[in-house]
Amino acid sequence: MSDKRASLPISRRRALGLIAVTAGGGSFMPSTAPGAQVSSYAGLALFDAGAGVCAITPESTEGPFYFDPKLERADIAEGKSGVGLTVKLQVVDATCRPRAGARVDVWHCDAQGHYSGYPGQGDGQDIDTSGQTFLRGWQKTDESGIVSFATIYPGWYRGRTTHIHFKIFLDDSSTMTGQLFFPDALSDQIFATVPPYAERAGKRDTSNARDGIARRAGPLAQAALREAADAYQALLVVAVKSC
């Protein structure tokens, strides 16, 4: 399989804007803000410091495919083909203060809907990825509470909408587990028009509205999307309870 990440769909070559919402209903960074259309914003606080109390992000199930590959890394793609995606998570507390030094694990399926490290996957339950570690890794948050992972846009598998898992370790005894979700319209277009997603037989059977986990997580688990030259960028502010 090629290790090149697919180009963005031609019809999507425009800024999507940021639609993340604070507890008070304001945008973290409106698309009209200075510099909103550029991709160089590493270390920039994603939340409005004057927004007040941050709503605690709802937790979601860990799911059956978690394991710790013991890989501290920023690029988790391991050569998997797909549309380039940068995932930025900012960990804050209920007063919107960044949580520096928190460990953040992420993991998700590839363009064909398969996770690394497990047998019995795929529509025929005949895909075995045991011993592999693609699309997994962890990092610690910087002084702004931010981690950034280079990966690919996740695919789909039956019964679930498109998502990325994350687990946050605030310390040895306090963890928070959640999932990050994507706009259905963007997922549908990528899956229908961009290889290798479009090479799958059939269509995904579960949208955000039909996914019970996504419904329970609500809008606070929906990623804010923007577009850079060669990758989408998904941003999510994760407000956690204080230890």
> Which H or E run includes 88?
strand 82-92
pLDDT in tens, 74-89: 999 999 999 999 999 9
The verdict on whether omega for the bond into residue 196 sits within 30 degrees of 0, i.e. cis, is yes
SS3 147: strand
Count of structural domains within the chain: 1
Say which residue the tokens 């710790």 belong to. 68
Task: Tell me if 11 is assigned to some domain.
Answer: no
SS3 69: coil
Task: Tell me if 215 is assigned to some domain.
Answer: yes
pLDDT in tens, 59-74: 999 999 999 999 999 9
Q: What percent of the chain has pLDDT over 70?
A: 78
CA gyration radius for the chain?
17
What is the residue range of 208's domain?
Answer: 1-6+17-37+46-243
pLDDT at 149 over 50: yes
For residues 162-168, average pLDDT: 97
Tell me the backbone φ, ψ of residue 180, rounded to 5 degrees. Answer: -115, 135
Task: Tell me if 12 is assigned to some domain.
Answer: no
Residue 38 burial by CB count (10 A; 0-12/13-18/19+): exposed, middle or buried? exposed
Q: Residue 11: what pLDDT? A: 41
For residues 161-176, average pLDDT: 92
Q: Please name the residues in contact with 153: beta carbons below 8 A apart, sequence gap of 6 or more.
A: 82, 83, 84, 85, 111, 162, 182, 187, 190, 197, 232
Task: Tell me if 64 is assigned to some domain.
Answer: yes
Is 95:152 a contact under the CB 8 Å cutoff?
A: no
pLDDT in tens, 92-135: 888 888 899 999 999 999 999 999 999 999 988 999 999 999 99
- CATH label of the domain that carries residue 61: 2.60.130.10
Distance, in Å, from the CA atom of 105 to the CA atom of 179, rounded to the nearest integer, reads 11
6 falls in which pLDDT band (50, 70, 90)? low
Q: Mean pLDDT for the chain?
A: 81
Task: Tell me if 111 is assigned to some domain.
Answer: yes
